[in-house]
A and B are shown apart, each in its own frame.
Chain A
Amino acid sequence: MTIIGMPESMFIVFALTVIGGSLGAIHYTVVHVLLGKPFADEED
């Protein structure tokens, strides 16, 4: 089976790369934007 012209296993590597690069953005959105947690410097 192919997804956008490439085998499923290759598509998974592409997907993992995008998810891997987006972990910071996901964490930032959930923790700091949605839950409103302040940053360490907000608590020569």
Chain B
Amino acid sequence: MIEAGMSDVNPYYLGAFVLYLVLVLGIGVWGYTRTENVLDFWVFGQGMGPTLATWSLIANFVSSVSVIGFIGAVYVEGYSLMTHTILGLMVGISGLYFVVGKIRALDVLTLPDLVAEVTGYRVARPISGSVLLANAWLYLIMQLVGASLLITAITGVPYEYMVWVIGAVFILYTVLGGLVSVAWTDLVQGLLMVGAVLITLAYMTFDIGSFSAISAEFAAVDEAFVHPTYDGTYTAIAIAASLIAFFGTIFTEQNNIVRIAATKDIRTAKIHLAAAGVVLSVFYSLLIVLGGATTVALFDAGLTVDDPDAAFPVLITDYVPTEIGVIIILAVMSAILSTTDTRLHATGITTARDLYQYFKPQAGEERLMKVSRIATVVFGVTATAVAVNPPGTIIELYNLRAVLLTSAFLIPVYLAIYWTDLDGRAVVGAVTAGALLGLGTDLIAGGIGPVPAVFIGLGVATIVLLVGHYLFGQEATPDTSPMSD
């Protein structure tokens, strides 16, 4: 059982939390009335405009992992998180921008659709769908753990109750309104979150003296905190492996492909990545500086935390005044719910479309909607049950899924989009080999010798792809042209 800091119930914090839950449930009910068919539920009827798409991406991106986990990471290893993680994520968003026109033109709904389209083999759908479901489920668990730890620390309600309250609320509104609910709650949550981090940073800047004083005092706590590699702790190869793993997740997250399918045209698909890239790169830069300010404030106040993930919650409960605390708790709730509901929605569409519809191609619309909703409930409830007693820390799970996704999909799928003669069987083989070797070596020892797991996964996928293409390429292959309909 997870042990969380227990404090007395703060009526203002608890009130803000309850009010917030009522608001998102209201949006869920409204979304239900706007969902007429399965495409509304899955991809917003493919009519999402630039504003909703942009804020949906931003809100989904900034999760409890990034608010609590990233501030916790800065508390331990300073600004080096920028060098080995955030830089990769931001360049990844720009990278996806440059290929999004091609993806949107293929008119696929999900990542397994994309794999099936570029390989010509529909069996690729359930194979890649299974990898994505494993990823989504891991992600749900770590989000719930992060959310519940935080809300428990802040409201004083015991963890084992809180995890079920939070789980039930987001399952309910995702099941009700699908992507319509998810996108509109994302818009509210994204704005709230960016606003709250700016307000908190402004408060801390005023508290510490000036913006540059934050980093100067952070360096005074430990000089290595403001060193790009944490004073050489991160080697060049470790930084390169981490950057590539996080760069790759942008291209291989099911929800990013589903959101591209939901945009109404290529123009919207491009705008949402271009705009979100700017907002997120500025937001994360400020969030990391806020991590520095948090460390300085706790250090100066003589507050120490054993678990780095508790640094930000302690700042809220023991340092800032209640008015600022209420704003932060709403923002963090937003960060958590907006990411979790997106992943949960992705499990519904992956199960119904990539698994169920593959085996039951004649399934009607009502049936698919029902399967989506049942899958959403099953994955949501099981993830909540596991989150009561989780198998690893948040950051461990976060890194593991980055290696899995990037190893499996990055090279085979994106190479096949442009190399139209690439043999489909070689692509399916490379996805499978990359997933198994990347995940396997990461779980066993984090890699083989000095070579990080993500390089092994990518290397094996590339070798299988090229050798497979050479061996199979001599024979005629089925429909391998990605642009054919």
Interface residues, chain A, CB within 8 Å of chain B?
2, 4-7, 9-10, 12-14, 16-18, 20-25, 27-28, 32, 39-42
- With A6-B79, A20-B87, A23-B277: A40-B226 Cβ-Cβ less than 8 Å: no
Note all chain A residues with C-beta closer than 8 A to B91. Answer: 20-21, 23
| CB nearest neighbor in A for B265 | A41
Given the interface pairs A21-B94, A24-B97, the reply to whether A5 lies near B277 with Cβ below 8 Å is: no
Closest CB pairs A-B (n = 6): A21-B281, A5-B215, A24-B97, A21-B90, A5-B212, A23-B94
As a 0/1 sequence over residues 46 to 90 of chain B, the CB contacts with chain A under 8 angstroms (1 = contact) are: 000000000000000000000000000000000100110011001
Indicate whether B273 reaches chain A with its CB closer than 8 angstroms: yes
- Known: A5-B214, A17-B86, A40-B101. Is A10-B270 also a contact (CB below 8 A)? no
CA distance A23 to B278 in the complex (A): 8
Evaluate contact between B94 and A41: CB separation under 8 angstroms.
no
The answer to whether B97 touches A2 (Cβ under 8 A) is no
A29 to B135, CA, bound (A): 35
Interface of A is mostly: helix
Give chain B's interface residues, CB within 8 Å of chain A: 79, 82-83, 86-87, 90-91, 93-94, 97-98, 101, 104-105, 211-219, 226-228, 265-267, 270-271, 273-275, 277-278, 280-282, 284-285, 288
B211 engages A24 (CB within 8 Å) = no
Distance, CA A12 to CA B212, complexed state (A): 15
Say how far B59's CB is from chain A's closest CB, in angstroms: 16
User: Which listed residue, B211, B266, B275, touches A4 by the CB 8 Å rule?
Assistant: B211
A10 shortest CB reach to chain B, Å: 5
Do residues A10 and B227 form an inter-chain contact, with CB atoms below 8 A?
yes
How far does the alpha carbon of A41 sit from the alpha carbon of B87 in the complex, in Å?
A: 31
Q: How far is the CB of B247 from chain A (nearest CB, A)?
A: 10
In contact, B105 and A40 (Cβ under 8 angstroms): yes
Complex contacts, A28 vs chain B, CB 8 Å: 97, 270-271, 274
Q: Is B228 a contact of A22 with CB atoms below 8 Å?
A: no
Closest beta carbon of chain B to A26's beta carbon, Å:
8
Are A10 and B266 in contact, with the CB atoms below 8 A? Answer: no
What separation, in Å, do the CA atoms of A43 and B97 have in the docked complex?
A: 19
B94 engages A24 (CB within 8 Å) = yes
From residue A37, how far is it (CB to closest CB) to chain B in Å?
A: 11
**A39 in contact with B267 (CB, 8 Å):** yes
Q: Are A2 and B82 in contact (CB under 8 A)?
A: no
